[in-house]
């Protein structure tokens, strides 16, 4: 009878050792995943900053929004066979 209790205790210890290893593995995975998301957020912030800086430098150049809109209108008109678009995309004053 005594021998059975010792075997049960050894099995319990083995299971606990395995579970501790699994828990540490999950903790390591959680830390890696958190680091991955943090790096992704930093890279997205850097990309947004670069895009805003580039857009600010383009103001007043041929690549600015006004020139881009005019070029888009010309492209659409050319694709329509030279017909004038029925929509007016120019700014209007409502006062």
Asked, for residue 14, whether it belongs to a domain, the answer is yes
**Ramachandran angles phi, psi of 39, nearest 5°:** -65, -40
Q: What is the pLDDT of residues 60-86, one digit of tens each?
A: 776 666 666 777 777 766 666 666 556
Asked, for residue 13, whether it belongs to a domain, the answer is yes
d(CA 81, CA 67): 21
Asked, for residue 91, whether it belongs to a domain, the answer is no
Q: Which domain holds residue 74?
A: 2-79
- Decide: 75 and 95 in contact? Cβ < 8 Å: no
Asked whether residue 6 carries a pLDDT value surpassing 60, the answer given is no
Residue of 46, 64, 47 lying closest to 55 (CA atoms): 64
Highest mean pLDDT among 40-44, 52-56, 90-94: 40-44
Asked, for residue 92, whether it belongs to a domain, the answer is no
Asked, for residue 62, whether it belongs to a domain, the answer is yes
Asked, for residue 18, whether it belongs to a domain, the answer is yes
CA dihedral defined by 41, 42, 44, 48, rounded to 10 degrees? 130
Average pLDDT over residues 41-59: 87
């Amino acid at each position: 009878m005594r021998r059975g209790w010792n075997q049960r205790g050894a099995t319990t210890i083995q299971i606990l050792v395995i579970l501790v290893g699994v828990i540490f593995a999950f903790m390591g995975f959680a830390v890696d995943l958190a680091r991955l998301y943090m790096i992704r957020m930093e890279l997205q912030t850097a990309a947004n900053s670069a895009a805003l800086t580039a857009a600010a430098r383009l103001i007043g150049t041929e690549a600015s929004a006004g020139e881009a809109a005019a070029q888009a209108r010309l492209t659409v008109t050319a694709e329509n066979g030279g017909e004038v678009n029925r929509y007016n995309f120019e700014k209007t004053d409502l006062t």
